[in-house]
Structures are given as structure tokens and as C-alpha cells.
Structure 1
Amino acid sequence: MRLLDARSPKVHTESDVTQYLYCVLRCREPRTFDTLGIGERGDIVHTINVGDLAVAASNSPLPRYDNTRRNMMAHMRVLDEVMTEYTVLPIRFDCVAPSPKTVREQLLKARHKELSALLDQMEGRIEMGLKAFWYEDIVFQEIVQKNPTIRRMRDGLAGRSLEETYYDRIRLGELVEAELKARRGRDAETILERLRPLAEKTQVNPTIADHMVLNAALLIARTREQEFNAAVRSLDSDIGGRLLIKSVGPVAPYNFVNVSMRWAT
């Protein structure tokens, strides 16, 4: 557990100003954190407490925030610190409340039962991100070697002009795309069937690049983190020659719970 330096504690005096919210946690006593808040103003990250629940927040210089890399990283850095000590429920990026009182009344009190149940579900659990990418030269070589139709069409383009082969190239591209789609499904399932037994929940998200095979998040018990990392290393040893596998975590469970609010005026 990381403790604040007792020689120079951060002191936060609550004021009736807009609050940027990061996450919900169980915490009875008001406290502050080392990481500074979003907005590059040096705002102290503090808790807004009601009973056994709290929200990690900071005074907000703006009414809303664009999802720039700088802002997103500021949001995530706060969660990274808080989750080293607490189970957290991430709050959706760009959640700004009119005042601490609003947070207490409309979130912590009004949704106490719901938030407590979600914290119970996330207790002792972490999210691990997993991404896999083909080495493009290797996968295209596999396709040409194993698909005679694609191989014949590719060979048939040699020595012919772009104008002459225009429609053949379109057709070849369609065949390659279909083959990649089929392979993506098979390769993704090969990876997931090795890791699913370690996870309580799995979220498969859309791939965001042509050479991306898998973009997934797995919710696992914190006590199984080393076992999960060992399984990823074993997987990389088996298929790493044709796939780059990246594991990221532990992180807050963004893919499995995300608190959002619309404040009543």
C-alpha cells in the first residue's frame, strides 16, 4: 500500500465549485492522492465521501474536456494510483459535476445500493488488456502458400499493366480480405481458448488495424495475475513467430463497469 509522505501531506479544503470525477471507491475518511488532477492547474485529487462510499475528484477548471491524449492520460493516471489501494469503479471520462453536494446527493446517496453491489463484484479483481497483431509479411506468405486461387491470381498479374489488371486486382484484394477475416477469427479464438479459463469475464472489442487480430480485455482475480502473465508468455512462445502479443495491466476495469451521470438541474 502506498502512503502519502507524512512530512508534506496534501491538504484539500472543500469548496462549492465544479468537480471532475474519476472513480467510485470504498473509503470512509476524506483523503487526498499524490497524482494531480486533470486540467494542468495542479488541482489536488481528493475524495468526496458519504458513509462508506467516496468519489475521487478534483476541482475542475473547465465544464467539459476533449478526449485528447493529454486529458485521457491525466484521467487514467489518477485511476492508476487510486487502484493501488482500493477497488474502483471507473467513471466515464469527461464527467464534471456542478459541486461536491451534487455528487453526494445525486450519485453517492441516490445510487448507493447499485454502486455497493458493483464494488462487491469488482472486489479483488483486475482488468488485463490483450492485443495481438500479425506480422504482415508472414501472414500474407501463409495465405499465398495455402490458397491456390490467390496464388494463381497473384502470379497472373506479373508483367501486366495496372490498367489491364485493374479488375483482377480488385478481385484479388477481396479474396485476400476474406481470407484475413477467416484467419483473424481462428487466430483470435486460439488465443482466447488458452486464456479464458483464467478469466471471470472476457470482453472482445473491435480491432482497429488491418493487421490486428485481437483486441480484448479480461477480468481476472488479482491473485491470478502472475498465472495470467505466465500463460501469455507461454502463448507467445508457441505462436510468437507469426503474431505479436501485447498484454497491458493491471488496469481499472474500464471494460466491465463504467459509471456515467446526467446531473439534474
Structure 2
Amino acid sequence: MTAGGVYVYAIIPTGRPLPPKAVGVGAPPAPLRLLAEGPVAAVVSDAPPQLRARRRDLMAHQELLVRLADTCPVLPMRFGVVAPDEETVRGELTGARKNHLAALRHLCDGVEINLKALPSQDALAAVVAEEKQVRRLRDEVRRRPGYEANVRLGEAVAAALTRRAAEAGQKILHALTPLAREVAPGPEVQGCALNVSFLVDRHAGDHFRTEAQKLADSHRGHVELRIAGPLPCYSFVTPRRVRTPAAGA
């Protein structure tokens, strides 16, 4: 083990092998190993010195998690989790064993799909046609051109685009929620009207993406929908989640 500590990628059930030829972060890539404590194990490697979020290392981290998730349930760690030594990792595995096992059971055969809803940049004509306030300000600019009038018009257009994207995003969220086990709101992203992740059965992932794309196409005049996944289930490791509503709720 290097002086840089132990880099932790994920927690998986004990007895599951590492993917063939898989390697970790660093240059050269660090060999992977398993630290098992009872029914759970941590996937680790030596932490490289001066670890930074380089594209090469970010991709190595993500690729390993995706390959692990193809064969077993995974509790993924965010990039950059480093423990001081193996004893610390083993202590975490032992101390939180029940929570880890419950989370692994919950995430079994599940994948995460993330949706981000952004204002449609092709909707300006629709905004002018459908938004009374925008039309009024546009007409004012035409009658009396000036800096302040242009600023007010620009602000009104931006606000209308954002509001329309948020409204469409909520409709899409409502339509997709029954197709997921759980839904988790993501952090605020600048310029993004909605950022949300879905926990979806692995076998239903393609169907979910197809339905999401259909909804994106039907709301194209209001929102640009970005769909990412299947991903490791980052958003569903902790218990702070929005539960999928019961049918008919």
C-alpha cells in the first residue's frame, strides 16, 4: 500500500469477482483488490499521489463501477474517496454492515437514469406568440428602441423559457415516476429547470429511456431533455429519497 492511502471505489457482496482486466485510477493504473468483512467487501486500490479529477481517472472510476454493476449490486463511491488505511475501510464495512446489506438488496438489479430538463432554445417564436408579456415588451422595443427596453425583453424571454421548461419537466416527471422504483431529486444545476434521477429495474431500462425520449419529443417546443444512463446508483445509496407514489395516489 502506498503512503497516499486506500482509494475506495465501491462496496459489493462478498464472493463476487472483480471484472477481468479491470484496473483503477492513477498512472500507471493501480491494481484492484477486495477487502472483505463478512458478507460485504470494498473494491479498493492504492491511492495515487496527488490525486486530481483528471479525465483519465474519472473515466477509469466510472468504467469500473459500470462493469461491476453488470454482474452484482453495487454501492458506488463518488470519485476521490480515500481512506487512510485498510483498517479504516474494514472498520467501516463492519460498523455499517446492516445498512450496506440493506442497500445492496434494495439496489439489486437496478440502474440509475438521470434526466435534466433545460429551456428549449428553439422555442423563441412560440414564446413570442404565446406569452402576452413578452409580446408587449417586444412591441415596446420596436416603438422605442433602447438598452433598458432590450434588457427587460431579454429578462422576460429568459423567465418565460425557464417557466415553460419547468412546467414541461414536471409533466414528464409525473409520467415517468410510475415506471421507476424510486425518484431522487438531484442538486441544482445552473440553467437547468429540473434535475432528477430514477431507480429503474435493469431489464426495464431500455423501455424507460424510450418512454422518456417520446415525452421529450412531445414537449420539444418547451424543453430540451437530456437523458443519461444506465448509471451506477449514486443517488439511491442513502435513505434520503423521494418514494415512488402508490398507484392512484
Structure 2-normalised TM-score? 0.83
User: Any unmatched runs of 5+ in structure 1?
Assistant: 1-14, 260-265
- Residue identity over aligned pairs, in percent, reads 29
Structure 1 residues 151-177: Cα deviation after superposition (integer angstroms, max 9, x where no partner): 12213223755xxx2222332233223
**What corresponds to 1:252 in structure 2?**
232
Deviation of the 1:29 alpha carbon: 6.3
Alignment of 1:36-115 (within 5 A): 36-62=23-49, 65-104=51-90, 106-115=91-100
| Alignment partners' CA distance in 2, 1:51 and 1:188 | 44
| Alignment partners' CA distance in 1, 2:73 and 2:197 | 18
Deviation of the 1:47 alpha carbon: 1.2
**What corresponds to 1:150 in structure 2?**
134
Alignment of 1:26-45 (within 5 A): 26-28=13-15, 31=18, 33-45=20-32
Q: Is the 8 A contact 1:194 1:231 kept in 2?
A: no
Which moves more between the two structures, 74-83 or 94-103?
Answer: 94-103
**What corresponds to 1:129 in structure 2?**
114
Which moves more between the two structures, 173-182 or 185-194?
Answer: 173-182
| Alignment partners' CA distance in 2, 1:29 and 1:222 | 19
Alignment CA distance shift 1:159-1:34 (3 Å): farther
**What corresponds to 1:195 in structure 2?**
176
Alignment CA distance shift 1:258-1:58 (3 Å): farther
User: Any unmatched runs of 5+ in structure 2?
Assistant: 240-249
- Equivalent position SS for 1:57: strand
The amino acid that maps onto 2:84 is P
Structure 1-normalised TM-score? 0.78
The amino acid that maps onto 2:212 is V
| Alignment partners' CA distance in 2, 1:204 and 1:158 | 42
**What corresponds to 1:232 in structure 2?**
212
The amino acid that maps onto 2:140 is G
Deviation of the 1:41 alpha carbon: 1.7
**What corresponds to 2:6 in structure 1?**
19
Deviation of the 1:89 alpha carbon: 0.5
The higher radius of gyration belongs to 1
- Equivalent position SS for 1:246: strand
Q: Is the 8 A contact 2:128 2:134 kept in 1?
A: yes
